[in-house]
Structure 1
Amino acid sequence: MADEAADDGGIEILSKAGAIIDALTETKVLTVSAIADAVEEPTSSTYRLLQSLIAMGWVDPAPARGTYRLGLACMQIGGVLEDSLDVRGLALPRMRALRSTAGVAALLCYRRGTRAVCVERIEGHDVRSVAMQVGDSLPLHVGGAPRALLASLPTGERRAVVDELLAGGDQQYPVPPAADLDAELRATRDRGYARSDQDVTIGIAAFGSPVFNHRGELVAAVSISGLRERLVGREDELAALVVATAADISADLGFEGAGRG
């Protein structure tokens, strides 16, 4: 019976601590009395529990005297949870809607060095392209999603990747002169999407747009790919769908700002 009472007491304390964390999560900074009101506990017991939470790093005193905020331990756990968000899982419903509306294949690509790897592909209704199946990769200077990734890298990183592409060369997909590539990447950023017109496969076009996480970091690019005759004449409409889909996935990941240039 004593053990059961101790267990019940421990659960009650955890519940109260959780209520304090919830209150601070919602309101950011609170006084002891405001916290006590929020959790419906006496001020004296709330203060004692706050001291225990401070000792564990869950709560910190705020700059204003007598106020409190979430501690570093909570922030670190929150960051880990945000970092663990499954980009593919969040993107899939958006990609299905994109494919359904556009009627062509929808792809999700991650950057790996100087290449883009296809990690998800939902087939469209037209001829199935042999290019960029799941697991395939392309250099970052060609294709809708790869070029969207390259154009959206931070300036210094982008320049380093372009230099590496130029130095390495590519017999299958020749790298254009630096000035031409820079101009295309600048135009891609201005448009908000990358345009690919038969530079990967004859008869196939693509539009791609970047995806950012909660820190504003580039994590992926989403694109559509299909027969050129089905895409080029509807570029404004279809590219807008791709941009909106990428923005929705970014929002799902907690992104709240504009794309990085």
Structure 2
Amino acid sequence: MAHDGGLALVRKSVEVLDLLAARGEATAAQLAEELGEPRSSVYRLLSSLQGLDMVEGGSRRGTFRLGFHLLSLGTAVVERFDERRFAQPVMERLHDETGETVYLCVRRGREAVCIERLDGRRVQSLALKLGGALPLHAGAASRVLLAFQDRSTWSDYLEQGPLEQFTPSTPITADALVPVLEETLDTGISVSDQDVTIGVAALGVPILDYRGQVRAALSISGVREAILGADTAAGLRERLVEAGQEVSRALGWQAVAGAVADFG
């Protein structure tokens, strides 16, 4: 029984931290309403988390936000990804050359999780924050991670429940999603045209390892005209494909049987 109580407390703590991550700042009353818990219980929990530096006082009186101790924990998680270590300098160069937002994502279950993000100078999309996630059917990086799986994975994904629709352009049925995945697989590049955020487009390419298996997705995002416009699209695609291949080579891609693969 004590074990069950301890597990419930840990679960409630995670729920509080998740809500603060989503909201930025919140009062104990707001959190209690979201959780359906007594305000006094939530306040005691916040006080305990504050004592561990996982929560701190917000910018306004009576509010709370995530504490700095979580930064060190998050950094430890992110730094274990070889993909990020090899991709960082390539992403920085791509960001400097284009001025657009650059993402690195890895798959976690039915989601694409952002493990690195360099904000664009012209527009900063809030749809996918560092540490945030999108479902695999929505967005350029997400669909790359799904497209480069076998087709049974596509079927399983579609069968496991209704797909969230972010905009009218989000592919949420098999008839809409499968052709997009096939095109991504054929061309080696994924195109997101306002299917996550109206007015925002993105391109994505796979990061492959020495076995030719997808390990991550590299993506560039910005206002639609800058990403898909006639004057810019070809150059951005070329830069992104070259960047993805560079990171893939660092992970051993193309070293198998002397073959030179080309996913662009």
Q: Which segments of 5 or more consecutive residues in structure 2 lack a partner in the other structure?
A: 1-79, 255-259
How far apart, CA to CA, are the structure 1 residues paired with 2:165 and 2:237? Answer: 29
Kept after mapping to 1: 8 A contact 2:158/2:173: no
Is 2:230 the counterpart of 1:231?
Answer: no
Query: 1:175, CA displacement in angstroms?
Result: 4.6
Partner of 2:247: 249
Partner of 2:159: 163
Matches within 5 A, 1:174-189: 175-189=171-185
How far apart, CA to CA, are the structure 2 residues paired with 1:244 and 1:214? Answer: 17
Q: Of the candidates 202, 207, 212, which is equivalent to residue 203 of structure 2?
A: 207
| 3-state DSSP of counterpart to 1:87 | helix
Partner of 2:261: 258
Is 2:112 the counterpart of 1:109?
Answer: no
Matches within 5 A, 1:23-102: 86-102=82-98
How far apart, CA to CA, are the structure 2 residues paired with 1:205 and 1:93? Answer: 23
Kept after mapping to 1: 8 A contact 2:164/2:172: no
TM-score (norm 2): 0.62
Between 1:230-239 and 1:111-120, the stretch displaced more is 230-239
Count of residue pairs the alignment pairs up: 175
| 3-state DSSP of counterpart to 2:215 | strand
Is 2:132 the counterpart of 1:136?
Answer: yes
Partner of 1:53: none
RMSD: 1.9
Structure with the higher fraction of residues in helix conformation: 1
How far apart, CA to CA, are the structure 1 residues paired with 2:171 and 2:100? Answer: 27
How far apart, CA to CA, are the structure 2 residues paired with 1:182 and 1:85? Answer: 29
Query: 1:162, CA displacement in angstroms?
Result: 3.0
Is 2:117 the counterpart of 1:121?
Answer: yes
Deviation string for 1:12-35 (max 9, x for gaps)?
Answer: xxxxxxxxxxxxxxxxxxxxxxxx
Compared with structure 1, are the counterparts of its residues 105 and 85 closer, same or farther at alpha carbon in structure 2 (3 Å cutoff)? Answer: closer
Partner of 1:66: none
TM-score (norm 1): 0.62
Query: 1:85, CA displacement in angstroms?
Result: 7.1
Larger Rg: 1
Query: 1:142, CA displacement in angstroms?
Result: 1.1
